[in-house]
Amino acid sequence: MSRSLPPRWALVTDVAFPFDDDNEFCPDLAVIPAEAEAENRSEYSPDLIEFVAEVVSPSSIRREYEVKPRWYASRGIANYLILDPLQGHAVTLWNPGPEGYRGRDTIPYGPDLTVDSPLGKLTIGTGRLPVDPKAPHRS
């Protein structure tokens, strides 16, 4: 995906984004302005995030699908991508509003996934992503 980012934007991982005193998220992947990323901080304002991606684990299902979409949408984060190896699919959410995202698509892993975002078209290869052997579409 980094190759499809415009030059003024950067990928960050393992950094905190405090949404309020009780809710701080460390997305698996977030896109923020390159100028901010160059500061190499351990936390950034969530208002900097333009795109965010999370990978589902057995212990994070509710958080990734129910909790984070409301928080991310409430801050106007344009696109949220959920990569779910337990189901073998990706979920794209867009059009943020005060109650969550108004747009949602579920796409099986396999072909490249292209997300139309304010940053342009972002392409994520899903064909080689890990999939739980017990995922519904696997035998």
- What tens digit of pLDDT does each residue of 54-65 get? 999 999 999 999
8: Cα separation from own chain's centroid: 19
pLDDT in tens, 95-136: 999 889 999 999 999 999 999 999 999 999 999 999 998 877
Q: For the structural domain made of 2-124, what CATH number should be given?
A: 3.90.1570.10
Amino acid 135: pLDDT: 78
Residue 1 pLDDT class (50, 70, 90 cuts): low
Amino acid 110: pLDDT: 92
Say how many CA atoms lie within 13 Å of 53 toward its Cβ.
18
Q: What is the full DSSP assignment across 20-85?
A: SSS-EE--SEEEEEHHHHTT--SB--GGG-SEEEEE--TTTHHIIIIIHHHHHHHTT-SEEEEEET
Amino acid 99: pLDDT: 87
Amino acid 137: pLDDT: 63
**Beta pairing class for 51-55 and 29-33:** antiparallel
What percent of the chain is predicted at pLDDT more than 70? 96
Each domain of the chain, given as residue ranges in start order, spans: 2-124
89-94: long-range contacts (C-beta < 8 A, 24 or more apart)? 90/124, 90/126, 91/65, 93/69
pLDDT in tens, 84-104: 999 999 999 999 998 899 999
Residue 7 · residue 27 · CB < 8 Å:
no
Amino acid 139: pLDDT: 42
The whole model's pTM is what?
A: 0.92
